[in-house]
């Protein structure tokens, strides 16, 4: 099984200088305020905030959804796949 490397083309994400800077300069209270604002924006209909909050809480959705849909289309009746409306 292939792993997910943190090193890509010479970049080692574990040694990101920005990560160190933010970790050392943003307080827990700052992070709390940022999260509260992001959640408020998401609830208010901001699609980017909604996506970010959900991605951070639940992880990004599986990107292989289209492959699964194409397989399902092969076995489902046309009325279930909107193919009959084309």
Give the pLDDT confidence of 6-33 residue by residue, as tens digits.
556 666 667 778 888 888 999 999 999 9
- Residue 16 pLDDT: 79
Helices (H) and strands (E) in the chain, counts: 5, 2
| 14 within a domain of the structure (yes/no) | no
Give the residue numbers spanning the domain of 57: 28-85
| 80 within a domain of the structure (yes/no) | yes
* Mean pLDDT across 52-59: 89
| 15 within a domain of the structure (yes/no) | no
| 7 within a domain of the structure (yes/no) | no
| 79 within a domain of the structure (yes/no) | yes
3-state helix, strand, coil split of the chain in percent (to 5) is: 65, 5, 30
What's the domain count of the chain? Answer: 1
- Residue 2 pLDDT: 56
| 5 within a domain of the structure (yes/no) | no
- Grouping H, G, I as helix, E, B as strand and the rest as coil, residue 8 is strand
pLDDT at 81 over 80: no
| 4 within a domain of the structure (yes/no) | no
């Amino acid at each position: 099984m292939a792993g997910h490397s943190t090193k890509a083309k010479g970049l080692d994400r574990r040694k990101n200088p920005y990560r160190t800077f933010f970790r050392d300069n943003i307080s827990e209270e700052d992070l709390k305020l940022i999260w509260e604002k992001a959640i408020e924006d998401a609830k208010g209909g901001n699609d980017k905030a909604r996506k970010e909050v959900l991605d951070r809480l639940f992880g990004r959705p599986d990107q292989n959804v289209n492959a699964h849909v194409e397989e399902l289309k092969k076995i489902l009746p046309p009325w279930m796949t909107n193919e009959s409306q084309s």
